[in-house]
Chains A and B, each alone.
Chain A
Amino acid sequence: MSDVREMPKGGWVLFKESFKRFLSFKLNRMSLGLTVFLLSLALAAPWLAPFPYDQVNPSLGLTAPSWDHLMGTDNAGRDILSRVLIGAQTSLSIGIITVVFGLIIGVFIGALSGYVGGMVDEVIMRIVEVFMSIPGIVMALALVSVLGPSPPFIILALSIRRITQFSRVARGAVLSVKTQDYVTACHAIGMSNMRIVFGHVLPNCIGPIIVLATVLLGNVILTESTLSFLGMGIQEPTPSWGTMIAQGNEFLTFAPWLSIFPGAFLFLTMIAFNLLGDGLRDHLDPRGGSVV
Chain B
Amino acid sequence: MEQHVARPPRLRLAGISKRYGLTQANAEIDLEVGQGEIHALLGENGAGKSTLVKIICGLVKPDAGTIAWEDETIPAMDPDIARRLGIAMVFQHFSLFETLTVAENIALGLRTKESMAALSARVAETSARYGLKVDPARHVHHLSVGERQRVEIVRCLLQNPRLLIMDEPTSVLTPQEVDGLFVMLRQLAREGCSILYISHKLEEIAALCDAATVLRGGRVVARCDPRRESPAVMAELMVGRSLPRTNRLASAPGAPCLTVSGLSLPADDPFGTALRDIHLELRAGEILGVAGVAGNGQKELLAALAGERTTRPATIRIGSTVVGHLGAAARRRHGMTFIPEERLGRGAVAELSLAENALLTCFGQGFVARGFVQRRRVRDYAASVFERFGVVAAGIDAEARSLSGGNMQKFIVGREVGFRPKVLLAAHPTWGVDIGASLAIRQELIDLAATGAGILVVSEDLAELFEICDRIAVLHGGQLVPPLPVAELTASTIGQSMGGVVREMAHAA
A and B physically associate: no
